[in-house]
Every structure is written in C-alpha cells, then in structure tokens.
C-alpha cells in the first residue's frame, strides 16, 4: 500500500522535481516513522511505500538491489539512503 501526503500539490511538485521524498518502509519500523515525521514537520511532500506486500517487496528489491534494510529513501528523484542520510541532507540544505 502506498500513501501520499499533501496530495493536492504532490503531482505538480513531482513533475517539477522539487522537494519530494519517496520513503520505502514497513510496519513497526521506527526509522520509517521518523522519516515520515520529519517530512511532515518540514512540509516536504512524500510518498510512503509499504514493502510488506509481495509485489512491492519485489519492486523494493529492483529499486534497491544492494540494500536489505528499511527505510530506503529517494529525495528529489535520487536514492540518498536511510533516515540518517535524509536528516543530513535536509540539514545541509538552505
């Protein structure tokens, strides 16, 4: 299941490749929840992709073949890593 937040502007922002996060995670994952929370706090539109379903797990493996842990996060269309890397990236932006 995927969830989009700030839906009204998400598609427009994604088309323009402005601040959009894609968070791949699963239930009961503390860092997945923290990644969503920091995006909400900073008003960064994001899509949350729950990899608990077989089809989305396969998609996760295709998108991140060298990674087995969640969350895995894409920001502005580029894979940046997990929660810690997201925080570093956001703290280094003007």
Computed over every residue of the chain, the mean pLDDT equals 85
- Asked whether 10 and 4 are in contact (CB, 8 A), the reply is yes
Reported pTM: 0.79
- Which DSSP letter does residue 42 get? T
Torsion of CA 32, 49, 61, 86, to 10 degrees: -40
User: Could you report the per-residue pLDDT of 25-65, keeping only the tens digit for each?
Assistant: 999 999 999 999 999 999 999 999 999 988 899 999 999 99
Say if residue 2's pLDDT is above 70.
no
Among 9-13, 17-21, 53-57, 87-91, the range of highest mean pLDDT: 87-91
d(CA 20, CA 39) in angstroms, rounded, equals 9
| Domain 2-91: top CATH class | alpha beta
Q: Which is nearest to 83 in space by CA: 20, 45, 30?
A: 30
């Amino acid at each position: 299941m995927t969830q989009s937040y700030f839906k009204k502007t998400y598609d427009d922002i994604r088309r323009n490749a402005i601040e959009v996060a894609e968070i791949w995670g699963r239930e009961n994952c503390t860092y997945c929840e923290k990644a969503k929370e920091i995006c909400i706090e900073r008003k960064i539109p994001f899509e949350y992709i729950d990899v608990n379903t077989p089809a989305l797990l396969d998609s996760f493996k295709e998108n991140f073949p060298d990674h087995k842990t969640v969350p895995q996060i894409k920001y502005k269309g580029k894979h940046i890593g997990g929660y810690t890397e997201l925080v570093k990236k956001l703290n280094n932006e003007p």
